[in-house]
Chains A and B, each alone.
Chain A
Amino acid sequence: MGALTDKYCIVGVGETPHLRPSNRTTLSMACEAVRNAMADAGLKPSDIDGMTSYQAADSTTSGHVATALGLRLNYCLDILGGGSSTEALVAHAIGLIEAGYAKTIVCFRSMNGRSGRRMGGQIPGGPIPAVNAEGDNQFNMGWGWTTPAQRFGMSAMRYLRDTGCTTKAFAEIAVAHRYHASLNPKAIHRSPITIDDHQRSRWVVKPFRLLDCCQETDVAAAIIVTSRERAYDLRHPPVFIMGGYARTMTESPQWNYSRPVLHYVAGNYGWKRAFGMAGITHRDVDFISCYDAFTFTTLIQLEANGFCRAGEAGEFVKGGRLQIDHELPSNLSGGHLSEGYTHGVQMVIENVRQLRHRADDACPDWREGKHSYDRSAGCRQLRKAKICCGMAWGWENMGSCLVLRGMAA
């Protein structure tokens, strides 16, 4: 085990319902999510002395949330961020606690991701009447290449060509994550789907169909990080941070079409650090989470983080391997594809609940960690949930990871 392992824990998680629209402000939702996370941990406002958040110029700030909730912070910071920022804020929180800046830190993300400003620049109700293409956007929006689906589609198309993988592999991801959502009372989409349903769904941008794309929602989510010493006194068994990487970059940190392989991503550069810090191998991982903004992004994270070899993820996911009770369960809440879109925070939240053995499913006594493991009755708690690897990213060239373990591991 590395120097980090077991020193810091996630002790509280909370969110608001996934809605579209929320008819609420990002401040109001953030306050509820943070309050839920404090209640989950059994912490009072006076116990929290640090707060961080990330946003894409679309949200409230730590200062506003702290004021509304009566928190008196020793440290607060809001950063610009995206899909790889949750893990970065957890790393940041560890450093702040280690250095004595704060003792217990809340990290949150609040976004009206459906009814407010949507990824790619559009506003509610369809296309924008007029838009400015400035800065970087001159050279993508100028020719109608704006959204994450359009951007990742370019990598995905080349991936299909280079590997011989087909969109049937995309469908495996959609089906697995939807099945997990069917066991999650909070998920937006809970009806199970088949490979055929995926293959019949309408095109958004080829090679992506509707069922390849995440479910943008209005939501806020929060997690609380503190030291091991404090963690043992709180409500739930602590979840230990074993290792990770944050916003690791490839040879081209930002947008660059000239990367040698268009679908070679940041995880390739980060996973050995994360696993080294954690002192684990892939065989130790009981379940994973992937930033499934698109089905394809799950495939490529499996390869980048060493769960299978480059070009082999399409074969790897066949036969339901990523489904609960199979070899490598992925995104047990349903993920961005089916639960809703919290810009990555929900994966950490679900992993924490699974590692506590307290998945908030249909089992009546889940708060005490009593599960039936009966999937037909709506239980989504993994029997063996000791170590998980959560993988996330923003764009191809910026990724992150968090290896967590529960008390039993």
Chain B
Amino acid sequence: MAVTIDYSKLRILPDPDTREWWEAARQHRYLVRQCKRCGHKWFPPNIPACDKCTAMEISWFETAGKGVIHSYVVVVQPIVGAFVSSVPYVVAIIELDDCKEADGTVTRVAGVLTNAEAEVAIGLPCTVLFEETNDPKIVMPRWRISGEADDTWKFSE
């Protein structure tokens, strides 16, 4: 399902903490923040210090962009004008496969799925893809379901 987001109605304004993240997305690379001192990773990327060890010496980690759906919502009533023609659409929180730390911490990210509601379930694997938008400065990472899993859970009405 194509989610058509009108970025003339939604201006994303990168800032000094996030400019590199959006630039990487334009190059089809998905980054999360990483602490130079303890190696901890996190998202969203605008948080400028490590919430494990408090270091402000931070860098980026380029993920392979694969993960598992941890939770999701189906937006039925649009609020922001840019999404009016896209409802219903699914926003998910995804646990990244390559961001699991020794103490059990897993970096999770959020984003729109390209799949329709009927296909979505907690536990399904998904992969990032990058879509051009009508704002030439913004390439938006999206996620699509990329496989099956044994242990899945689906919201039933």
Report yes or no: A146 in contact with B80, Cβ–Cβ below 8 A.
yes
Let me know if B140 is at the binding interface, CB within 8 A: yes
Report yes or no: A134 in contact with B13, Cβ–Cβ below 8 A.
yes
Report yes or no: B18 in contact with A138, Cβ–Cβ below 8 A.
yes
Give the contacts of A141-188 with B (CB-CB under 8 A).
Answer: 141-147, 150, 153-155, 157-158, 160-161, 167
User: In the bound complex, how far is the Cα of B88 from the Cα of A205, in angstroms?
Assistant: 9
User: In the bound complex, how far is the Cα of B98 from the Cα of A329, in angstroms?
Assistant: 47
Report yes or no: A144 in contact with B73, Cβ–Cβ below 8 A.
no
Report yes or no: B73 in contact with A135, Cβ–Cβ below 8 A.
no
> Looking at B47, B73, B105, B153, which has the most chain A CB atoms within 10 Å of its CB?
B73
Report yes or no: B79 in contact with A140, Cβ–Cβ below 8 A.
no
Give the contacts of A185-234 with B (CB-CB under 8 A).
Answer: 202-207
Residues of chain A with a CB closer than 8 A to B140's CB: 142-143
User: In the bound complex, how far is the Cα of B18 from the Cα of A141, in angstroms?
Assistant: 15
Known A-B contacts A129-B81, A131-B10, A258-B107; A161 and B75 likewise in contact (beta carbons under 8 Å): no
Pick the interface stretch among A48-56, A76-84, A87-95, A119-127: A119-127
Q: Tell which of A133, A147, A255 touches B10, judged by Cβ atoms closer than 8 Å.
A: A133
Residues of chain A with a CB closer than 8 A to B47's CB: 254
Closest to B72 in A: A157
Report yes or no: B73 in contact with A154, Cβ–Cβ below 8 A.
yes
Let me know if B76 is at the binding interface, CB within 8 A: yes
Task: With both chains docked as a complex, state the minimum distance between the C-beta of A257 and any C-beta of chain B, in angstroms.
Answer: 4
User: In the bound complex, how far is the Cα of B47 from the Cα of A203, in angstroms?
Assistant: 33
Residues of chain B with a CB closer than 8 A to A131's CB: 9-11, 80-82
Let me know if A262 is at the binding interface, CB within 8 A: yes
Q: Tell which of B11, B51, B72 touches A154, judged by Cβ atoms closer than 8 Å.
A: B72
Task: With both chains docked as a complex, state the minimum distance between the C-beta of B82 and any C-beta of chain A, in angstroms.
Answer: 7
Report yes or no: A127 in contact with B80, Cβ–Cβ below 8 A.
yes
Report yes or no: B43 in contact with A206, Cβ–Cβ below 8 A.
no
Report yes or no: B44 in contact with A255, Cβ–Cβ below 8 A.
yes
Report yes or no: B45 in contact with A139, Cβ–Cβ below 8 A.
yes
Residues of chain A with a CB closer than 8 A to B64's CB: none
Report yes or no: B81 in contact with A138, Cβ–Cβ below 8 A.
no
Report yes or no: A133 in contact with B111, Cβ–Cβ below 8 A.
no
User: In the bound complex, how far is the Cα of B142 from the Cα of A234, in angstroms?
Assistant: 61
Task: With both chains docked as a complex, state the minimum distance between the C-beta of B108 and any C-beta of chain A, in angstroms.
Answer: 4
Let me know if B12 is at the binding interface, CB within 8 A: yes
Task: With both chains docked as a complex, state the minimum distance between the C-beta of B41 and any C-beta of chain A, in angstroms.
Answer: 9
Report yes or no: A138 in contact with B104, Cβ–Cβ below 8 A.
no
> Looking at A140, A142, A154, A157, which has the most chain B CB atoms within 10 Å of its CB?
A142
Residues of chain A with a CB closer than 8 A to B15's CB: 134-135, 138
Let me know if B8 is at the binding interface, CB within 8 A: yes
Known A-B contacts A138-B46, A256-B42; A262 and B155 likewise in contact (beta carbons under 8 Å): no
Report yes or no: A129 in contact with B93, Cβ–Cβ below 8 A.
no
Known A-B contacts A138-B12, A139-B44, A205-B73; A128 and B93 likewise in contact (beta carbons under 8 Å): no
Residues of chain A with a CB closer than 8 A to B13's CB: 132-134, 138
User: In the bound complex, how far is the Cα of B70 from the Cα of A154, in angstroms?
Assistant: 9
Let me know if A260 is at the binding interface, CB within 8 A: yes
Report yes or no: A144 in contact with B81, Cβ–Cβ below 8 A.
no
Report yes or no: B77 in contact with A132, Cβ–Cβ below 8 A.
no
User: In the bound complex, how far is the Cα of B106 from the Cα of A48, in angstroms?
Assistant: 51
Give the contacts of B102-157 with A (CB-CB under 8 A).
Answer: 104-112, 117, 122, 140, 142, 153, 155, 157
Let me know if B84 is at the binding interface, CB within 8 A: yes
Report yes or no: A206 in contact with B76, Cβ–Cβ below 8 A.
yes
- A residues apposed to B, CB below 8 Å: 120-122, 127-136, 138-147, 150, 153-155, 157-158, 160-161, 167, 202-207, 252, 254-258, 260, 262
Can you list 11 A-B contacts with CB-CB less than 8 angstroms, sorted by A residue number? A131-B80, A134-B15, A135-B46, A143-B142, A144-B78, A145-B75, A150-B79, A153-B73, A155-B71, A254-B47, A258-B108
What 9 pairs between A and B have smallest CB-CB spacing?
A139-B44, A257-B108, A206-B74, A127-B81, A153-B73, A158-B71, A134-B13, A144-B83, A203-B76
Since A131-B82, A144-B78, A257-B43 are in contact, a sample of 16 more A-B pairs with Cβ atoms closer than 8 Å, ordered by chain A residue number, is: A122-B79, A122-B80, A130-B9, A133-B10, A139-B46, A142-B12, A143-B110, A144-B5, A144-B91, A145-B75, A150-B91, A157-B73, A158-B71, A158-B122, A203-B74, A257-B110
